[in-house]
Every structure is written in structure tokens, then in C-alpha cells.
Structure 1
Amino acid sequence: MTGDDHRVQIGGNARISGSQIASGQNVDQTQHLSGAQDGSPVEQAIDRVAELLERHSAELPDVHRAHRDLDDIRQEVSENDPDPDRIAHALDRLAARVAGIAAIAAAVRELASLLTGN
């Protein structure tokens, strides 16, 4: 690529969540995330795990499955009558998938504590 071509190409099994992408000369970006602070502690913990999954995605062999587990948790806690067993199973799977990354494992334990009271 030369000249004024400032393309951004994302392919494969990419997942971009809560991020900004810019291309070009003299690009400035500002991102305000004030809404995240307004959520419940559970929502904030889920968002934190999602952020860490993105940050450490190259280190996780099953990152797409970890995202699915987290999506299952997010969906289930938003239900009018959440199924505690379904949440527990998704938490167990997620914890096993991220056990090798201390920061994510700690965030998942914090989420589990909020959801199970343990």
C-alpha cells in the first residue's frame, strides 16, 4: 500500500468489541465509555471479562468458545427467570478455558462470586 491508501482490513475469525479503528494521516480519536459505569456490578464484571478476552485473545486457543460461554452468561442473567445451573455450567467452562491467563481467571472468579454469592 502506498500513497493515500489507508485501508483497514480485518479478516479471519476476528472479533472487535468496544474498540475504535482509524486509518489515515493525522487521525485523532476519542472514546468516552461513561455508560459502562452505570451498569450493575454483574454487567460491569461481564464487560471486564470481555475486555480481557479481547486483550489476551492471541494467548487463548479457544477464545471464540470463551466468548460464547461469556455470551451465554450474559444472555442468561438478562432473563426474567435465569437458570442457575446453566450459568454455573457456562462459568465452569469459561473458567477452564481461561485458567492459563491469571488476569482473566481472576476476573472470571470475581464474576462467579457476584453470580453465585461464593
Structure 2
Amino acid sequence: MSTSTPNQIFEQIEQAAQAQSKYLKIQPGQTMVLKFDANKIQLVDREIENRKSKAVQYTVLNVNDGQEKILSLSLSWALNLNELLKAGYTNIKVNRRGSGLDTSYNFVPV
């Protein structure tokens, strides 16, 4: 019989769900180092809170675990990130702050 606490079990379930998803979910306050491929970028339509908008999907490789996922960003954040990609940077540290419509990102080449 397992001696895991409920919080440990919840964490294991969350990690398993994230591992199965093709999308990368960066949590508020989390920082990740991602490898970007400029040949794997798509402009897509999306709907958030009944508002249609454009977004940019980047296929990225998580440097820490080697998993390839899709990172979806709004156009405004994509413009910031694209400046680093245009300058030739591929390994970028991404930090997320806030949640929902108050989400912001910080991008730093490594």
C-alpha cells in the first residue's frame, strides 16, 4: 500500500497530465529554458473567453527533460520573443508571471 500524501498524489496526477499533453503549460512564477526552432512556428486562430484572436505556436524542446511541446503565445508576447529569435538566439529562458489576462513573460537568451 502506498504511503503518499494526498498532495503528492495530486502532484503526480498533474505531472502525468502535463506529460501527455502536446502543449507546454508554464505555471505562474515558473521559469524554463526552452530551445526554439525558427522553422517550427505557426500563426493560428484561437478563442479565449469568447474572444477570437490570433496566437503564435512555437514547437519547443524543454532543455531539462528533452520533451518537445507546443508553446502558444499571444501576438504581443510573440513579437517580444521573435526579436530574440531574429537575432539568432535559440535557447531562451522563459519566466511567466501572473495568470489569465494578467499573464506576462520575460524572455532571456542563454
Q: Does TM, scored on the shorter chain, surpass 0.5?
A: no
More strand by share: 2
More helix by share: 1
Report the TM-score, using the length of structure 1 for normalisation.
Answer: 0.25
- Higher Cα radius of gyration: 1
Report the TM-score, using the length of structure 2 for normalisation.
Answer: 0.27
